Amino acid sequence: MAVEKMSIAKALNESLRLALDNDPKVLIMGEDVGKLGGVFRITDGLQKDFGEDRVIDTPLAESGIVGTAIGLALRGYRPIVEIQFDGFVFPAYDQIVTQLAKMHARALGKIKLPVVVRIPYGGGIGAVEHHSESPEALFAHVAGLKVVSPSNASDAYWMMQQAVQSDDPIIFFEPKRRYWDKGEVDTESIPGPLHKAVTVREGSDLTLVAYGPMVKVCVEAAAAAQEEGKSIEVLDLRSMSPIDFDAVQRSAEKTGRVVVVHEAPVFYGSGAEIAARITERCFYHLEAPVLRVGGYHVPYPPARLEDEYLPGLDRVLDAVDRSLAF
């Protein structure tokens, strides 16, 4: 049996190691990824074992990192780049949005851009500004990019393998406050496709839709609701672009009520897309409007206020009550 218990951080590290091992064209690039092993140690030990030409410490320049990764991909490499923190992806946003996302289409499909952009994202670690952002909607809105986020160690391991093997550019959001959460990883049995949603808890009264860091909160909320006799289903989207709307629809039709939960601001967030799409797809099955729980339309607050900002158990349960009251 190849089942091991490991943290999300360790699962990512093992998965990157496997990717380097399997394919000599795979490269890892980023600030501090070499000797230091990354500020979160996700690339720990990889430079030591694979050399400076495979695990490349880059200058402190995000546009440069992504722009050169594009060039390397054009030359047949498969770069996995690390952006140190969510808030620092923006110097590279131009390269990602105007170049990485569109080149395949512009070349009428003749070239492929197998680039993975890893971004530790989200709040809850008490950091200073620009270290706790959830910019997934900004990327999901851009055609040509795929956007995913694991919520547990097994997904971290396997979704990374799948992302590296994808010929499309993937924005791989890692829920940084879950890095140290442990879970079982079966390194032999390959799970379902990268963009498929997974039901992490069955229920019949209401569906909580989440991804990344909020999946754990939703599972806890469902357990708490259970004690009050409410049966809550929890769906882990895993992929924010594309979204497995069939899975959301199936669950919505089963329970009749949907609450979407994410850390990013609700306004123009991924919850808006899900709510609209589900309303279109299963209007007559819904017992209540699709509700959303997330951040406010304010700059991500200083650390001492982030508990107020981030959706916790109470805010999720409050939305569950409001939905059930319709």
Partner 1 sequence: MTVESTAAARKPRRASKRTSAAKKPQSAEPQLVQLLTPEGERVEHPDYSIDLSADELRGLYRDMVLTRRFDAEATALQRQGELGLWASLLGQEAAQIGSGRALRDDDYVFPTYREHGVAWCRGVDPTNLLGMFRGVNHGGWDPNSNNFHLYTIVIGSQTLHATGYAMGVAKDGADSAVIAYFGDGASSQGDVAESFTFSAVYNAPVVFFCQNNQWAISEPTERQTRVPLYQRAQGYGFPGVRVDGNDVLACLAVTRSALERARRGEGPTLVEAFTYRMGAHTTSDDPTKYRADEERAAWEAKDPILRLRAYLEKDKLADEAFFTALDEESETLGKRVREAVRAMPDPDPMALFEHGYADGNSLVDEERAQFAAYQASFADSAEEGK
Give yes or no: 285 in active site: no
Q: Is 143 in the site for partner 1 (CB under 8 A)?
A: no
Query: 294: helix, coil or strand?
Result: strand
Q: Could you say whether residue 98 binds partner 1 (CB under 8 A)?
A: no
DSSP sequence for 223-263: HHHHHTT--EEEEE--EEES--HHHHHHHHHHHS-EEEEEE
**Which residue in this structure is represented by tokens 């000797």?**
35
Measured from the CB atom, the residue of 35 and 106 that comes closer to partner 1 is 35
Cα dihedral sign for 89, 92, 95, 97? positive
Asked if 126 is part of the footprint of partner 1 (rule: CB under 8 A), the reply reads yes
Among 108, 128, 143, 325, binds partner 1 (CB under 8 A): 128
Which DSSP letter does residue 187 get? S
- Per CB under 6 A, residues contacting ligand TPP are 31, 60, 62, 84, 88, 91
* Residues in region 212-251 near partner 1 by CB under 8 A: none
CA angle 309, 311, 314 (to 5 degrees): 115
63 binds, among partner 1, ligand TPP, none (CB under 5 to 8 A by kind): partner 1
Per CB under 8 A, does 196 bind partner 1?
no
Query: Is 49 among the residues that bind partner 1 (CB under 8 A)?
Result: yes
Closest CB 307 distance from partner 1, rounded Å: 9
Instruction: Give whichever of 34 and 114 is closer to ligand TPP, judged by the CB atom.
Output: 34
**Hey, what's the torsion of the CAs at 259, 265, 270, 273, to 10 degrees?**
80
Dihedral (CA of 78, 82, 83, 86) sign: positive
- Shortest gap between Cβ of 35 and ligand TPP (angstroms)? 14
The answer to whether residue 180 forms part of the interface with partner 1 (CB under 8 A) is: no
Closer to partner 1 by Cβ: residue 252 or 266:
266
Rounded to the nearest 10 degrees, what angle do helices 214-227 and 313-324 cross at? 60
Task: Report if residue 321 touches partner 1, rule: CB under 8 A.
Answer: no
The distance of closest approach from Cβ of residue 126 to partner 1 in the complex, given in angstroms and rounded to an integer, is 5
- Minimal distance, residue 306 CB to ligand TPP, in Å: 19
Q: Which residues contact 245 (CB under 8 A, 6 or more apart)?
A: 274, 277, 278, 281
Q: Is 180 exposed, middle or buried (0-12, 13-18, 19+ CB in 10 A)?
A: exposed
**Residue 91 touches partner 1, criterion: CB under 8 A:** yes
**Nearest distance in Å: CB 20, partner 1:** 8
Helix (H) / strand (E) containing 185: strand 182-186
Q: Would you tell me which residues interact with partner 1 (CB under 8 A)?
A: 14, 17-18, 21-24, 31-32, 34-37, 39, 48-54, 57-61, 63-64, 87-88, 90-91, 126-131, 161-162, 165, 190, 267, 296-299, 301-305, 308-309, 314-315, 318
Annotated catalytic residues are 131
